[in-house]
């Protein structure tokens, strides 16, 4: 167990035992930037959607803290919750016929303007179809294994592999397109 895990665990214990708001804020500030970035990528750069996902994930995480067995790190667990929140939100949006906004790369990476390749990469990820994007972000960006992704998304690990293959191919195609457009 790392020092970070110990710190997370101590803060979580104070949240559960004393409903300590200061401890929660400390836990939040340790993980919110990572969770929000993750949510932003999952949602294809939609800031409002990422905020909803982050908010719901935190609330569910605190509700579920007593049952968390710390077999994974807190950040990983939080992302797993966020994936479910995002899928529910996406399903609800699809049901209501809510049109997704166009991706604004500036929202994705307003602080990375000096690194165009990264901006292109972020943009290409954001423009992937949601199913591809989900697996690619989980596997290639966040480092989840195919088995973990399968468990999270309720799919076979072979499906996760296949989705990743297609996602990478679509990503390469998009990047090539950007490069042609700017050359």
Partner 1 sequence: MSVTHDDDELAAALRGLPREVETPLRLEDRVIRSLRVEGLVGRPGWRRWARSTIGLAAGIMLFLAGMAVGRRTMIASATEGRYFVLLLYEDETFREGEGLVADYTAWARGVAEAGHRVSGEKLALKARLLGARDTVVYVEPRDVTTTEGVLAGYFVVQAKSYEEAIAIARAHPHLRHGGRIVVRGIEPT
Question: In whole angstroms, what is the distance from residue 120 CA to residue 74 CA?
Answer: 30
Report the nearest approach of partner 1 to the CB of residue 100 (Å).
19
Question: In whole angstroms, what is the distance from residue 57 CA to residue 71 CA?
Answer: 19
Question: In whole angstroms, what is the distance from residue 78 CA to residue 5 CA?
Answer: 13
Stretch that binds partner 1, among 1-9, 90-98, 119-127, 149-157 (CB under 8 A): 119-127
Contact 57, 35 (CB under 8 A): yes
Contact 56, 85 (CB under 8 A): yes
Q: Which of 44, 63, 56 is nearest to 122 (CA)?
A: 44
Report the nearest approach of partner 1 to the CB of residue 101 (Å).
16
Binding status of residue 112 toward partner 1 by CB under 8 A: yes
Binding status of residue 26 toward partner 1 by CB under 8 A: no
Binding status of residue 36 toward partner 1 by CB under 8 A: yes
Binding mask of the shown chain, residues 75 to 104, with x at each position contacting partner 1 by CB under 8 A: ------------------------------
Question: In whole angstroms, what is the distance from residue 173 CA to residue 101 CA?
Answer: 22
Q: What are phi and psi of 142, to 5 degrees?
A: -95, -15
Q: Which of 136, 149, 150, 152 binds partner 1 (CB under 8 A)?
A: 136
Stretch that binds partner 1, among 1-9, 15-23, 92-100, 153-161 (CB under 8 A): 15-23
Q: What are phi and psi of 113, to 5 degrees?
A: -60, -25
Binding status of residue 67 toward partner 1 by CB under 8 A: no
Question: In whole angstroms, what is the distance from residue 56 CA to residue 38 CA?
Answer: 14
Binding status of residue 117 toward partner 1 by CB under 8 A: yes
Query: Which chain residues interact with partner 1 by CB under 8 A?
Result: 15, 18-22, 24-25, 28-29, 32-34, 36-37, 40, 47, 51, 54-55, 58-59, 62-63, 109, 111-112, 115, 117-118, 120-122, 125, 136, 140-141, 143, 168, 171-172, 175-176
């Amino acid at each position: 167990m790392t020092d970070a895990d110990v710190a997370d665990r101590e803060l979580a214990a104070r949240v559960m035992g004393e409903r300590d708001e200061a401890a929660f804020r400390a836990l939040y500030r340790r993980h919110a930037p990572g969770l929000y970035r993750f949510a932003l990528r999952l949602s294809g750069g939609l800031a409002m959607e990422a905020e909803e996902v982050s908010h719901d994930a935190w609330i569910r995480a605190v509700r579920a803290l007593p049952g968390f067995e710390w077999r994974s790190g807190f950040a990983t667990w939080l992302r797993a919750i966020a994936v479910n929140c995002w899928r529910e939100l996406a399903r609800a949006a699809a049901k209501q016929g809510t049109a997704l906004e166009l991706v604004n790369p500036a929202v994705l990476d307003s602080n990375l303007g000096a690194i165009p390749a990264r901006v292109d990469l972020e943009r290409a990820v954001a423009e992937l179809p949601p199913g591809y994007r989900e697996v690619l972000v989980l596997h290639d960006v966040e480092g989840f294994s195919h088995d973990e992704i399968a468990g999270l998304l309720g799919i076979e690990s072979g499906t996760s592999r296949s989705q990743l293959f297609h996602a990478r191919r679509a990503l390469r195609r998009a990047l090539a397109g950007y490069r042609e457009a700017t050359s």
